[in-house]
Structure formats: C-alpha cells, structure tokens
Amino acid sequence: MRRLLRTRPEPFTRPLTRPVRRTRRLPGRWLAALVVTGSLALLVPGVSYATASQSSPATATDAAAAMANAAGCQGVTPAVIPALGFITNPSRTQAGHLWWRPEAGGVCIGTVIEWVQYNTTATKTWRVVVYSAQHPAGQVVAERTFTLGQGWYWWSFGVHQTFSGLSAVCITADDSFGVPCLHFGT
C-alpha cells in the first residue's frame, strides 16, 4: 500500500486569467458606411484619372523641366476657372482651378487643375495658356497629349512660374472643346 503525502494548495501567486489588450472596433454601422463609401468611390462611372492612357511617353527633358519648375513659385490662393463646353467637371461647376499669389515680379501661378469631358474616344492635347504683358497673344506654359475614352478626366499641371503683367490663365483640350479663362485685373 502506498501512502500519499498530504499536500497543501500553492499560495495564490498569479491570476487565473490574464489581462486582455482591448482593441477598439468600429460600430457596425460605421464600418458598413465606410465599406459602402469605398465601394462607391471605386464604382462611380465616368470619373477617371487622365493618366490612364498617355499617348506619348515622358522624356528626360520633361523630367528636367519638371525638376526646374518644382524649385519655382508655389501658389497659395485658390481660384476657380469657370466651366465652358467640354472643359468641365462632372457637376459642371468648374473647368478647373489653380493656386496663385502676388510676387515682386508679377503673379505666381502654382498648380493648375484641368477637367475635360470626353463623349467618345479621342486624342486631345490639353494646354495651359498664359496671357501676359510679354505674351499678349498667349503663351503655352504646359501641355500634355492624351488618348482617352468616354468619361470625365482631370490632370494637374505644375506651372510654378511668375508672370509679370498677367492678364489671364486659360485651359483647353482643343479649341472646339472650349477655352475657359480666369482673368486677372491688371
């Protein structure tokens, strides 16, 4: 016969359960709202980025020009370019917008955003044209050629230059599409 030693339970040295790190979860309705919003943003028909199919590849000179412009002025005051013809956003409230500011040598134009509506697949050259004292007939300061299908597209042009005697900044994808302008009072 074996004899069992009597044992006492060990003193309480550790809890039976460990603390659990609590993570916050979004309530179900907020999560559902985020999923629906994200899905709709991906499925909205007709709105696309103009980078979808560029008809001519960028060159080394384009890259050098972009780096030179990046060191230039930065606009800080937003201004809306009115919609005209096919140069319009989906809600037809603007053709685009830009950022500008007055500087010692004239007016600095920073980034110019252009919206274009295509009804059929077409190749168009989008342009930013500046009218100033030095170029009263207009000077193309930025352009890009795209072949795009039906829908609305936008592109951001980094102009980043100062123009003395600036009278207007215009955007176009073709004269037949319309040429809306933002006029400066000089």
Which domains are delineated in the chain? 47-183 (2.60.40)
CA distances from 66 to 55, 57, 59, 61, 170 (A): 19, 15, 11, 8, 20
pLDDT (tens digit per residue) in 74-83: 888 999 999 9
- H, E, C per residue of 72-97: CCCCCEEEEECCECCECCCCCCCCEE
CA dist 162 and 125 (Å) reads 24
Residue 69 is predicted with a pLDDT of 42
End-to-end CA distance of the chain: 114
State the chain's mean pLDDT as an integer: 76
pTM of this prediction?
0.62
16 versus 183: the higher-pLDDT residue is 183
The average pLDDT across 145-167 equals: 95
Q: Model confidence over 63-114: pLDDT tens digits?
A: 434 444 445 788 889 999 999 999 999 999 999 999 999 998 899 999 999 9
Question: What is the distance between the alpha carbons of residues 59 and 179, in angstroms, rounded to a whole number?
Answer: 27
Q: What is the pLDDT of residue 6?
A: 55
Residue 107's contacts (CB-CB under 8 Å, 6 or more residues apart) are 100, 101, 162, 163, 164, 166, 184
Q: Which pLDDT belongs to residue 183? A: 95
8 A C-beta contact, residue 152 and residue 170 = no
